[in-house]
């Protein structure tokens, strides 16, 4: 059974100052989880978690992870800027991008970030853009085909736009070494949101064997191996979550089996987990404001896909708890919907839930990663506030809700904007 980290009583207190909908994050849960990750990989002297900024790009949350020793995995100019703004620089930042504009390589190099090249052609592009090849460089690997483990096929790297082929990777290391690179990294992401302790050790074994061959055949010094993300979370209540201690142990066994005998016992292990680091420690809290009885039973809430896009985008499951009714029988079947003019704007379809009354607060679980971050403004809907439930039980606003003025701020027709400003003044919009 999934348990919320806030109670109905706490939400009723919060909404006196911050109305629903809002995303809320659990500071204590985030910190304890980060500590567990570092403990699981403490056997590796150079280990570092590079939190995937795209998952939850909020400076307060980045600072919490930074205090736990995390660096940041960035994929765009604004993510680089955000990381720099909270004090990250140099090898605190991993820049893993694709189809990369020249200006972003320039800025990443200015910060001293580790650049992770997605494509073989980017070697020439990077050199022409920044006038050199950095001494520390990483390359993203795509073995093609399907990625399979003992419990079956997990994903299809061959259908992915990311990374270099095996032959390209070997050629890339040779060229980069000739051009002055001295420390090399290998990066791979072969499966998404795996809920099995087997994924990282299996991936690690493949990358460790690849690293041994690369160092032997190219003479390139492998400084780190980046297992990237892919370690998932149990979105459904009947799923068993990953055990990070077991995962770390499994990677350790592969390391001792493959790298150490090859004289590569100094290779650092990096990870780039967004979902695992933050997902369970965020929730979307929304209020039931309407009910509808036609061919199905509907509950309308004051949040919509703008606030959480995953269910509408690809049918992702997010568990829902009706606060204050945690022990009530699940004897009603509802579609829980938002107000967008799209029929896929649903947080749940034919979900067994307790009887929901207008005014009830719904706690939508596991929105701490790829929740707020994937929001948009369709139908002129505005993105919600982000709150932090601190360890002492207090609540801090870490991003205010958008206002109509924010939505209209980029308009370039001054006469229209002036009219809008007048309308917003009349309506008391801040």
Residue 419 reports pLDDT greater than 90? no
Select 282-408's CATH number: 1.10.1740.10, 3.20.20.80, 3.30.1360.20, 2.40.37.10. 2.40.37.10
Q: Is 150's pLDDT higher than 60?
A: no
Across the chain, mean pLDDT equals 94
**Range in 217-226, 371-380, 402-411 the model is least confident about:** 402-411
pLDDT of 428 reads 82
Predicted confidence (pLDDT) at residue 152 exceeds the cutoff of 70:
no
CA distance 325 to 258: 52
Q: What span, in angstroms and rounded, lies between the C-alpha atoms of 35 and 38?
A: 5
- What average pLDDT does the segment 28-33 reach? 98
Q: Helix, strand, coil shares of the chain as percentages rounded to 5?
A: 35, 25, 40
Higher pLDDT residue, 192 or 8?
A: 8
> Of all helices (H) and strands (E), which one includes residue 421?
helix 414-427
Instruction: Report the C-alpha gap between 173 and 195 in whole angstroms.
Output: 33
Considering only residues 302 and 146, tell me which one the structure prediction assigns the higher pLDDT: 302
Per-residue DSSP letters for 142-201?
Answer: ---S-EEETTEEEE-GGG-S-SB-HHHHHHHHHHHHHTT--EEEEE----SSB-STTHHH
Using CA atoms, how far apart are residues 375 and 22, in angstroms rounded to an integer?
A: 12
Per-residue pLDDT band for 306 (boundaries 50, 70, 90) equals very high
pLDDT of residue 429: 72
Secondary structure class of 347 (helix, strand, coil): strand
For residues 363 and 319, give the distance between their C-alpha atoms in angstroms, rounded to a whole number. Answer: 8
pLDDT digits (tens, 9 = 90+) for 320-334: 999 999 999 999 999
Sign (positive or negative) of CA dihedral 125, 128, 130, 132? positive
Among 290, 296, 303, smallest CA distance to 347 is for 303
pLDDT at 156 over 90: no
346 and 412 Cβ atoms separated by less than 8 Å: no
The model's confidence at residue 417, banded by pLDDT at 50, 70 and 90, is confident
Reported pTM: 0.94
- 267-296 pLDDT, tens digit per residue, is 999 999 999 999 999 999 999 999 999 999
- For residues 70-76, give the mean pLDDT: 97
Contact (Cβ atoms closer than 8 angstroms) between residue 155 and residue 191: yes
When pLDDT is cut at 50, 70 and 90, the band that residue 32 belongs to is very high
pLDDT of residue 149: 57
3-class DSSP assignment, residue 417: helix
Number of Cβ within 10 Å of residue 149's Cβ equals 15
Do the Cβ atoms of 51 and 74 come closer than 8 Å? no
For range 212-235, the mean pLDDT: 97
Which pLDDT value is given to residue 145?
A: 65
Per-domain residue ranges for the chain? 89-273, 282-408
Residue spans of beta strands (DSSP E) within 308-427? 320-322, 332-337, 346-353, 361-364, 385-389, 395-399
Which CATH code fits 89-273?
3.20.20.10
Which residues, 6 or more positions from 22, have their beta carbon under 8 angstroms from its beta carbon? 14, 284, 285, 384, 385, 386, 387, 401
The two three-digit tokens of residue 182, written as one number:
């001295």
Q: With 90 as the cut, is the pLDDT of residue 101 above it?
A: yes
Q: Check residue 190 and give its pLDDT.
A: 84
């Amino acid at each position: 059974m999934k348990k919320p980290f806030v109670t109905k009583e706490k939400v009723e207190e919060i909404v006196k100052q911050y109305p629903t909908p809002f995303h809320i994050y659990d500071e204590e849960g985030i910190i304890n989880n980060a500590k567990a990750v570092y403990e699981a990989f403490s056997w590796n002297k150079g280990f570092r978690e590079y939190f995937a900024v795209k998952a939850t790009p909020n400076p307060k949350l980045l600072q919490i992870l930074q205090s736990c020793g995390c660096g940041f995995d960035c994929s765009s100019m604004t993510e680089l800027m955000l990381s720099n703004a909270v004090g990250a620089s140099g090898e605190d930042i991993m820049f893993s991008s694709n189809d990369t504009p020249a200006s972003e390589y320039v800025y990443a190099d200015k910060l001293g970030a580790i650049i992770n090249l997605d494509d073989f052609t980017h070697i020439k592009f990077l050199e022409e853009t920044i006038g050199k090849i950095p001494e520390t460089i990483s390359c993203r690997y795509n073995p093609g085909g399907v990625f399979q483990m003992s419990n079956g096929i997990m994903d299809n790297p061959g259908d992915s736009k990311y990374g270099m082929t095996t032959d390209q990777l070997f050629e890339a290391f040779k060229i980069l070494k000739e051009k002055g690179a001295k420390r090399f990294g290998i990066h791979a992401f072969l499966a998404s949101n795996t809920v099995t302790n087997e994924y990282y050790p299996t991936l690690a074994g493949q990358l460790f064997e690849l690293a041994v061959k690369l160092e032997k055949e190219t003479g390139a010094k492998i400084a780190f191996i980046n297992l990237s993300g892919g370690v998932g979370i149990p979105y459904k209540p009947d799923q068993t979550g990953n055990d990070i201690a077991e995962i770390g142990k499994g990677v350790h066994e592969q390391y001792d089996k493959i790298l150490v005998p090859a004289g590569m016992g100094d290779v650092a292990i990096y990870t780039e987990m967004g979902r695992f680091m933050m997902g369970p420690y965020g929730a979307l809290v929304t209020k039931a404001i309407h009910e509808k009885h036609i061919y199905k039973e509907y509950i309308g809430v004051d949040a919509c896909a703008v606030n959480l896009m995953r269910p509408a985008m690809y049918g992702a499951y997010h568990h829902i708890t009706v606060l204050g009714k945690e022990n009530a029988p699940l004897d009603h079947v509802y579609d829980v919907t938002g107000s967008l003019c799209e029929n896929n704007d649903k947080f749940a379809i034919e979900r067994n839930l307790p009887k929901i009354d207008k005014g009830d607060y719904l706690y939508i679980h596991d929105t701490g990663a790829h929740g707020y971050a994937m929001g948009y403004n369709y139908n002129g809907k505005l993105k919600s506030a982000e709150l932090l439930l601190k360890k002492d039980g207090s609540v801090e606003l870490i991003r205010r809700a958008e206002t109509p003025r924010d939505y209209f701020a980029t308009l370039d027709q001054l006469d229209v904007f002036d009219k809008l400003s007048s309308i917003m003044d009349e309506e008391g919009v801040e």
